């Protein structure tokens, strides 16, 4: 029997009772931020639910985690709290449960139309790491910049490669992105140019939100890593390719990445994604023991990127990919991150890196889709090598269940001109 909510949920909604993703919102301008879950076209205010004493399980009964202005305290409580909250919320919202359904005053207080709210970053992100976990993306970048002789460096098949990103410039979906300025890669032996980036790009990614952290010096076992991951968000790690190409040797990305990273407002939990688990790609060569998982899995999450060109009303779909294409799983990424003793904390963000599929129409960024500008992309009445001022980029992602979707909503941002 399919679980149904008393709240009306359209068949194409990303937020049925099977999902219940977590976010942080303001119900009205100037009001205090508070945690909520999405259900159909509404946000369920968890501070109201908690104040009514409806979280009565052993972990959450005496907790003030839903009276906070972010989700850090809740995600830090770990899987027992997450499971208890999910069971409680699915019961409260089910069509057969009268507690909320038949209490008009409580229902009106607890359920806020999503069109009225302002969504905020769901967690305070202390640290942000971005991986390079898609083999297809790694291969394409290698072909573009190094040629066919050695497109993927040998170490890539042994360790999940990553760089440490800039947490302060992570923004919520809908925030405009100002075109960055910096030094660009010079042609030949000429001096580098300085100015607005000429090769601004999107990167279709997802990111894991860390739950309980680990103590400094104590790595997380790869087979226990899922207990340290609360859920996933969509992520656009905007990239200035010309700035990055000039700066990344020998230490990697810096100004080409740190000007802005956009995430979607709703964190979809691993419990909600579990029905869509799929086998991860077979590793060749086999990973070292600390990365060898008993069960190595990804999730079947369909991903799509659209661009709404500057001055136009219609958006064009430019790529479709899937989370299941990742070579290194999110649990392997987390275990590798901590193997040297690095301590993760609740709310830390671990980006997957660009998620490209095997076919040209599934490449996850303009660098690949246009082959570094050599093959301009058609967007209806215009073409693009890279993003232009006024372009809006929209990510979506969802899993398809039996008569319902489990989705992430959208992750969007518009490019504004660089300041003069």
Which residues are marked as active site? Answer: 137
Residue 85: is the preceding peptide bond cis (ω within 30°)? no
Are the beta carbons of 161 and 198 closer than 8 angstroms?
no
What six digits make up the tokens of 391?
């372009």
The values of phi and psi at residue 169, to 5°, are -105, 15
Instruction: Report the Cα 251 to chain-centroid distance in Å.
Output: 25
Percent helix, strand, coil in the chain, to 5, is 25, 30, 45
Question: Rounded to the nearest 5 degrees, what angle is found at the Cα of 265, between the Cα atoms of 261 and 267?
Answer: 105
What are the residues facing 231 on neighbouring strands?
209, 269
Question: Can you tell me which residue has the tokens 């890196």?
Answer: 353
Instruction: Report the Cα 249 to chain-centroid distance in Å.
Output: 27
CA Rg value for the chain: 22
Name, in order, each residue with C-beta under 8 angstroms of 318's C-beta and a sequence gap of 6 or more. Answer: 305, 306, 307, 366, 369, 377, 379
Widest pairwise Cα distance in the chain: 74
Are the beta carbons of 233 and 267 closer than 8 angstroms?
yes
Cβ count within 10 A of residue 33: 18
Whose CA is closest to 48, among 114, 116, 107, 120?
107
Q: 110: part of which helix (H) or strand (E)?
A: helix 104-110
């Amino acid at each position: 029997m399919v679980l149904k909510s008393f709240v009306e949920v359209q068949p194409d909604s990303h937020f049925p009772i099977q999902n219940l993703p977590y976010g942080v919102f303001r119900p009205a301008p100037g009001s205090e931020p508070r945690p909520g879950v999405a259900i159909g076209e509404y946000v369920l205010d968890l501070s109201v639910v908690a104040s009514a004493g409806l979280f009565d399980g052993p972990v959450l009964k005496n907790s003030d985690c839903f009276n906070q202005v972010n989700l850090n305290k809740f995600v830090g409580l770990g899987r027992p709290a997450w499971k208890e909250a999910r069971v409680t919320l699915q019961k409260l919202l089910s069509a057969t449960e009268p507690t909320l359904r038949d209490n008009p005053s409580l229902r009106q207080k607890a359920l806020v139309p999503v069109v009225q709210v302002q969504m905020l970053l769901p967690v305070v992100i202390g640290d942000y790491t971005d991986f390079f976990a898609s083999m297809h993306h790694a291969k394409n970048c290698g072909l573009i910049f190094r040629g066919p002789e050695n497109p993927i460096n040998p170490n890539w098949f042994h360790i999940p490669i990553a760089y440490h990103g800039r947490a302060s410039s992570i923004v919520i979906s809908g925030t405009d992105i100002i075109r960055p300025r910096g030094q660009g890669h010079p042609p030949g032996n000429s001096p580098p140019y300085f100015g607005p980036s000429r090769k601004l790009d999107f990167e279709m990614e997802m990111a894991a939100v860390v739950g309980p952290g680990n103590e400094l010096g104590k790595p997380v076992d790869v087979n226990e890593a899922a207990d340290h991951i609360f859920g996933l968000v969509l992520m656009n790690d905007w990239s200035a390719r010309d700035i990055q190409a000039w700066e990344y040797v020998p230490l990697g990305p810096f100004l080409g990445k740190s000007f802005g990273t956009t995430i979607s407002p709703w964190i979809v939990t691993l419990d909600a994604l579990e029905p869509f688990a799929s086998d991860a790609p077979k590793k060749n060569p086999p990973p070292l023991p600390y990365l060898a998982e008993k069960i190595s899995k990804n999730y079947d999450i369909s991903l799509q990127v659209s661009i709404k060109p500057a001055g136009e009303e219609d958006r064009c779909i430019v790529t479709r990919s899937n989370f299941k294409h990742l070579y290194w799983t999110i649990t392997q990424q987390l275990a590798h991150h901590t193997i040297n003793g690095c301590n993760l904390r609740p709310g830390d963000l671990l980006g997957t890196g660009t998620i490209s599929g095997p076919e040209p129409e599934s490449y996850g960024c303009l660098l690949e889709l246009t082959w570094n500008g050599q093959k301009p992309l058609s967007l209806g009445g215009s073409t693009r090598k890279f993003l232009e001022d006024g372009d809006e980029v929209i990510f979506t992602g969802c899993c398809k269940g039996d008569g319902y979707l489990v989705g992430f909503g959208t992750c969007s941002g518009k490019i504004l001109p660089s300041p003069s």
